[in-house]
Amino acid sequence: MDTFPEELIDHICSFADMGVLCSLSRVSRQFRRIAEPHLYRTICAIFDGPFDPGYSKTDVLISTLKRRPHLRPYVKVLNAECSTEYRSSIPNQYHSLLSFRAKCDQDVHDIITLAPMMETIDMYDFVAEESLGQSWLEILPALHQHTYLKRFDIDLGSSVLTDLHHLFALPNIEIMDLRRGETNYDDEKALRHWENMKSNLRQLSIVDLRTHDQVSDVADDVKLIARSCPKLHSLESFGVVYTYGSNYFRALIRAFTIPAIKNQLSYVRNFGIHKTLLAGFIVSAQSF
């Protein structure tokens, strides 16, 4: 491979797994320079529990990014996972649970902070610990600095949907996949952040949004978002009929189809409302 042009080696590296890339980076300085961008492009931070062998690997990664700042622009994708299943490994040990979860939150916060050119953040399976009073908003740094961010997937936990204004305002954001979250329309507070915003978001998915008033809450919150997303061309919402009832889905449709909104959203081509009896079983879907 020493005689191969660098462009060809770089192309080969784009298909190589982590083991091969690590081996290549040890061959020579040239190979290391070519392999490093691929080694750090996608970071998977998976926290299975405090006794998981890979639990401490994020410390090494964070230390490396701090010590070698030239690596930070290579990080483009973060996949963070931390479910609540690890609780079974530390029964009746609340302090251990609290310490472990605080460490997970801090590690994700540090990785995002150290990678300002990140394009995708997937925290869909980084489940918020509502019992500990935590919110994903508290563990993320100021994302307004992440001007390269294009996609954001997250489990909102108990966070309020309209509190996402700073994410919708990111200049390059195109796709959001949001799970859970709550509607809690505060007219004065929400309007202050949303009324003059013109988001570049193109695809939005909302799953299992929790509401206090199934009609007025969702209509007000989603209508506010609709007015701020003139480039939106795909909206999907998933929810359980037993939990939400038909009025919830009708409110969603009305929020995006009243004349003032419909005229502004001239680019919308895909509008799907998926109602399920149980999670995973779609019984009806509508496209507009």
Span 158-182, pLDDT tens digits: 677 777 888 888 899 999 998 877 7
Write the burial class of residue 215 (CB in 10 Å: 0-12 exposed, 13-18 middle, 19+ buried). middle
- Among all chains, which residue has been given the structure tokens 């410390």? 59
Instruction: Provide the pLDDT confidence category of residue 287 given band limits of 50, 70 and 90.
Output: very low
* Residue 23: count of CB within 10 angstroms of its CB: 12
- Is the domain of 8 the same as that of 89? no
Task: State whether 87 and 136 are in the same domain.
Answer: yes
Which one has a higher pLDDT value, 206 or 238?
206
Q: Quick one: tokens of 244?
A: 């939400």
What is the reported pTM? 0.78
State whether 84 and 124 are in the same domain.
yes
> CA-CA distance, 17 to 24, in Å (whole number)?
11
Domain count, the chain: 2
Residues 30 and 121 in one domain: no
- Per residue in 143-161, pLDDT (tens digit) is 777 889 999 998 887 677 7
Residues 130 and 24 in one domain: no
Coarse DSSP helix, strand, coil percentages of the chain, rounded to the nearest 5 percent: 45, 20, 35
> Residue 23: which domain range?
1-39
Residue from 286, 234, 226, 236 nearest 262 by CA: 226
Residue 21 shares a structural domain with residue 144: no
Task: Supply φ then ψ for residue 120, to 5 degrees.
Answer: -135, 130
205-224 per-position pLDDT tens digit: 888 776 655 555 566 777 77
Q: Which residue has the higher pLDDT, 277 or 7?
A: 7
Statement: residue 114 has pLDDT above 80: yes
3-class DSSP state for residue 75?
coil
On whether the CB atoms of residues 168 and 228 are closer than 8 A, the answer is: yes
Confidence at residue 281, expressed as pLDDT on a 0 to 100 scale: 38
Check whether residue 35 and residue 45 sit in a common domain: no
